[in-house]
Structure 1
């Protein structure tokens, strides 16, 4: 068996042979806010890293706020000397970038698996949850679904404009589920699909969603939770780039229009033992009920992960298929936790609460933590919506309330890591306060 460095070196050399015109590779990782940060490396230097040379980036790059600034979080950022932290290359993620004007490559990097991983790095948080489940003999299979909107490339006084229908050149301003929209926007959607496939992402179904210019992409079911989250993160990056190339903006913003549905991140999760048996289907599906109860119990305490910003909180309720309470149901898209109809082998939950702009590593980590908690506590859930349409537990819908609910919940701290929870909650608190430091034009209209 090849060593990790030998495997990486072979990957880099094969890439260089297949793409001799590429001189630089972006080494990228997802920060807490769900944005990529990293460095652009000459490809010959990448060979040295693959062979074992150190790869270091500032530890605090992970802590960037929604607008890229640094906040004082404990001793981080301003009282710690801004230290570097080791990263490693993630095998299998070195791919060409086709949406830039010049030949370029990109590759994911992470601190997980290094000698001193960053406790609050999103991928490290998920890696810890997955490893804990593995030691318990629990093996998740995961599939993400992502909704997004297309807009015209040009903004109108800072506001989004509907995308232009390429056949009529009229604005695509009508909510519709019609499959004809897939044909009208076929060129850009096909390029998005092909580009994602070239990035190693297993995409399956493409759907025209209800909102004007809104679409959904489904990913294949994956037995590697880290890879499944990698796919979701990389798809967002490539889709934005491809859209710009075609004269559009692609956005995973949670609620771009008040009058139309928001964009969600739906996550399908099933759990198997080492022999491949579906754990949720055992004992007349009693573990499924326990897992649902655990998810619902932690939902109100993980809202800063599922709805990570002011706009994401706007998505909850008010339109179809967006829950305002922690609820569940069989084949019910109004529920936060939906149980799709399936055979026992494929029995799973569909977690529907997260917004499309949430951090996929943290979303999956929080979902798995809820499932794990439920299997441990062995409690029955509240009534499903199929039996009681008013069933559900209230969710915090203000960011500061949500942060308090998360920071002081001991199960969340135990499952996701106390250091991560404290850092993440302070990051969200500071982001919220920074967002408030601007007087909106409406305030002048109302109060001047």
Structure 2
């Protein structure tokens, strides 16, 4: 393959970066971590021609990067390679690299060229196929909350919120402009890096917690691209923070007594004529209400996707803007599904359950699957919640990792939309992570029990 035979985006990047030194080529694993290889720039044509081989266990490694033997994809299968091919249009610069570099998203396939069912991107693609069969295309945007910490923790290993925008121990001023101005050098770098990568960064706000912020992406009519962009945004924020001597974290609940980090998802559905079907009548039989009903009905069994880690469950607290029960409301941020006030053409729903620590491909796949389930079954939602949902609904979503994994494993809905094989693999990976953490006794337990019982 000569340079002239490369895709147009690759040719354009090479022309713009004649001194390009290396390419980071990666897939996204079960936990939303990018894993792959660095290649010399001269190898770019080979990746387009032949793909890049990675062990079949790679997309299902646990949070520490360890193989999950219970999946049967590691030693039991010989951990054979699978080809990973470039995602069209994904070659982008790495603006934070001190050397001229680019990055490329890959997707794992079977030897026969079909999608490998353990790649989270393939899971989302399969759900989109079902919506496409209905003549529907999702328009999606994500909102990401994150924290900025000093590069090094304190003596006890606890993260230290950056004091470059707020004084120590002070919560941020919600929507405070001064907090943003104090970090303008960092946020300016993030904005420029997003522009260089073609990421449609929208608004930036200060959140309530110390050193907590939110960046929103604009709506796009390609859910796979929306998930790709969410991964890139997280990479960008982390990389730019490192360059400024800080650490950015999307951990769901770094501090038990302070705001958690969520990933809210906005979705509308358009038909083949580009018409937003949510703009039609909003009676109980409308597509919007059927989608809401499907999300509420499947929410508990999907919680292990929205809250994928032990720490994720600390985020679900009363009066925390993280939902405890499947409820919906119009412009109501205390509910799990919110219908924002909008012009009919922009009618959409906002799914508010997932943490910022969740895998965006799996979150979007499960949200869209819940919506398709509601459409296919013509479900009718309960009455909307007006006012404080916490005081009107008993907590009913899984409130612990173990119970969420059990609900996930037993779900016919998950088996149908994500695949029974992936259901088993995901549960195996999460059980391995849970058991390893259960073997670690936290300092708080020594303090509470060592000398008292």
TM-score, normalised with respect to structure 1: 0.94
Deviation (angstroms), 1:392: 6.5
**Structure 1 segments unaligned to the other structure (5+ residues):** none
Asked if 1 retains the 8 angstrom alpha-carbon contact of 2:172 and 2:179, the reply is no
Q: 1:383 deviation in Å?
A: 2.2
Task: Indicate which of 262, 279, 282 corresponds to 2:277.
Answer: 279
- What does residue 18 of structure 2 align with? 20
* TM superposition shift of 1:6: 7.2
What CA RMSD, in Å, does the superposition of the two structures yield over aligned residues?
Answer: 2.0
Aligned position for 1:115: 113
Give matches, 1:176-191, under 5 Å: 176-177=173-174, 178-191=176-189
Aligned equivalent of 2:97: 100
Change in 2 beyond 3 A, CA 1:446/1:284 = closer
Which whole-Å CA distance do the structure 2 matches of 1:274 and 1:429 have between them? 42
* Among candidates 389, 406, 409, match of residue 408 of structure 2: 406
Question: In the aligned structure 2, how far is the partner of 1:149 from the partner of 1:133?
Answer: 35
Secondary structure, counterpart of 1:92 in structure 2: coil
CA distance in structure 1 between the aligned counterparts of 2:168 and 2:101, rounded to whole angstroms: 33
- Note the 1:1-400 alignment, pairs <5 A: 8-50=6-48, 52-111=49-108, 115-157=113-155, 158-165=157-164, 170-171=167-168, 173-177=170-174, 178-285=176-283, 286-386=286-386, 389=389, 390-391=392-393, 394-400=396-402
Kept in 2, the 8 Å contact 1:163–1:213? The answer is: yes
Residues in 1 aligned to 2:318 and 2:223: alpha-carbon distance in whole angstroms: 32
Name the SS of the counterpart of 2:75 in structure 1: coil
Q: Is the 8 A contact 1:173 1:213 kept in 2?
A: no
| Structure 1 Cα separation of the partners of residues 60 and 369 of structure 2 | 22
Tell me the secondary structure at the aligned position of residue 93 of structure 1.
Answer: coil
CA contact (8 A) 2:25 2:106 kept: yes
Which of 432, 438, 441 matches 2:443? 441
- Residue 13 of structure 1 deviates from its aligned partner by 3.3
Distance 1:301 1:8, change over 3 A: farther
Aligned residue-pair number: 442
Show structure 2 runs of 5+ residues with no match: none
